[in-house]
Homo-oligomer: A and B are copies of this chain.
Amino acid sequence: MEHVFFPPLSRVAVCGGTHGNEMSGVYMLRELKKRHIEQDGPVSLITVLSNPRAVESCRRYIDKDLNRCFTSQMLRQVEKNLGPLTDDTPYELKRAHELNAQLGPKGSQEAVDLLCDIHNTTSNMGLCLILYSADWIPLHILKHIQSKMTSTPVRAIFIDLPASESYSLESVGKHGLTLEVGPQPNGVLRADIYNLVKEAVELTFEFVQKFNAGHTFEGGEVEAYTMEDSVDYPRDPTTGEITASVHSELQDKDFKLLKPGDPIFKRFSGETVTYKGEELYPFFINECAYYEKKIAFVLGEKVKLTLPPISVQKD
């Protein structure tokens, strides 16, 4: 594939606490703030605690899920249709507006060059990057991290959406990626998970430094998972109450191929529910925040993407 050139990554934002009970990002930011008082050469690092009120009360969000507020349409609605933000405006919409002003505006030349948002999951997903399949920069960051972290699998989920329709915070940057790391209970900081996040953030910085210094990142293949479908918990048709738990043979088996006939749920009345669909890879298995979204697990295909060699545009 033909060599692709990008402008330097001069302004890099690291965000955490977008969900206020996912602790790795909250603590990572505190450390980054202490460390980067001395600037990192020509790169300006911006650290942002995205949802301070949710962090304060250790909840995912106050009024609504902040990480679903960043489609271009929602950002426009806040600015135009709602008029001035009032006390009645949901807190997260105000924060989306503020973050878009600070780190964007989304889709503009003023936006930060790279936005890395740190999340945790209660699912056994290890270190997982969520990124856009049409953007070579985060895909090369994935490849860089995979080549350096050999002790643990580094997986990725592709979001196949144009940036304008992407609802999550990292879509505000010119290039964006989410670190999704688990398993970690909400409100708890685990050292093992924190260390994975720290290593991934440092390798991202290393990539940025090398990229800006003129290093060519060779092309090649990366493997990742698409998001094809999701499966809800079995529910009582009358009350809507959940009537089964994720089966212990599926629990913690994120990214292990699911085949027809495999057990997926165990009803409280005793019976096992088996999988009826086509062979796909499950992830976000039994993620805490997805109960309210009616998702017991997400299903995806494993795909390969071929990357071109990239390097920085020379003046």
Contact = CB atoms under 8 A, between A and B. Distances in A.
Interface of A: 27, 30-31, 58-59, 122, 183-192, 194-195, 241-242, 245-248, 251, 266, 268, 286, 288-289, 291
Contact of A288 (B186, B192, B194): B186
B30 A191 contact: no
A245 B190 contact: yes
Contacts of A195: 248
Contact of A251 (B183, B192, B241, B268): B192
A241 to B, nearest CB: 7
Given A241-B30, A268-B30, A187 B186 contact: yes
Contact of A186 (B30, B186, B194): B186
A110 to B, nearest CB: 32
6 contacts: A183-B185, A185-B188, A186-B187, A188-B291, A191-B266, A192-B251
A188 B122 contact: yes
A231 to B, nearest CB: 16
A56 to B, nearest CB: 12
A191 B122 contact: no
A189 B286 CA distance: 8
Contacts of A246: 189-191
Contacts of A248: 191-192, 195
A33 to B, nearest CB: 11
Given A122-B185, A122-B188, A187-B288, 20 more contacts: A27-B268, A30-B241, A30-B268, A58-B291, A184-B185, A185-B185, A185-B186, A185-B188, A185-B288, A187-B289, A187-B291, A188-B286, A188-B288, A189-B245, A189-B246, A189-B286, A190-B245, A191-B245, A191-B247, A191-B248
Contacts of A194: 245
A224 to B, nearest CB: 26
